[in-house]
Amino acid sequence: MNAPRIQVVQGAFHVASGPGDCLLVTVLGSCVSVCLFDPVARVAGMNHFLLASGGAEAGDSARYGVNAMELLINGLQKRGAERARLRAEVYGGATMVPGLCNVGAANARFAVEFLRNETIYLRHASTGGHRARRVTLRSSTGLAREEFIDRVVLTGPPPPVEAGHVDLF
C-alpha cells in the first residue's frame, strides 16, 4: 500500500495525524527542516524554513525559524500532541555555495538551540556538509529517512516575478 506523499515546500509546514499514513517530503540545501512526532498521540509534522530570523519584515512568515517552529508546534498541539512528549529530528543546513556566508550553519544552530530552550527532546540531527538532501517523514511512526542528492536540477518554468520585485545574482 502506497502512502500519499505531501511535499513540504520552503516556508511551509504540514501536520498529519489519524489512522491513515502519509509521507511528508522535502528537499533541503541550506534550509532546515525540523520533524516532530508525539508517539502517544501519533501526530507528526515537518517544517521547512529558509532563515533563522528575519527582523521586522519576518512578520509571522514560516520562512523564518522561530515562526516555523511555533506554527509547527501549535499545529501538532491542535491535533492532540503534548509539547513534553515531542521527539525532534533536524535536517539540512548545508553549505551549498562555498565562500558565501554560511546561512545553513546558522539555520541548523538556531533549530538545535530552539529545541534545547523549549526542552523538546532532540532524537537525531543531520546537518551541514555540502550536499542537498531529501527528507521523508512517515506520519504514523515518526520515522524519517534522509537521502543525499549529489546534483540538484531544477525543472519547469521559472517562478513568477512579483511586480516591482528584482532578484540580483
Q: Which residues of 41-80 are buried (b: 16+ CB within 10 A; e: fewer)?
A: bbbbbbbbbbbbebeeeeeeebbbbebbbbbbbebbbebe
* Residue reference for cell 491513515: 20
Question: Quick check: helix, strand or coil at residue 69?
Answer: helix
> Which residue from 42, 129, 125 is spatially nearest to 79, judged by alpha carbons?
42
Residues sharing a CB contact under 8 Å with residue 103, sequence separation 6 or more, in sequence order = 30, 51
Which of 22, 31, 35, 101 is an active site residue?
31
101 is catalytic: no
Q: Report which secondary-structure segment, H or E, holds 145.
A: strand 144-149
Which active-site residues does the annotation give? 31
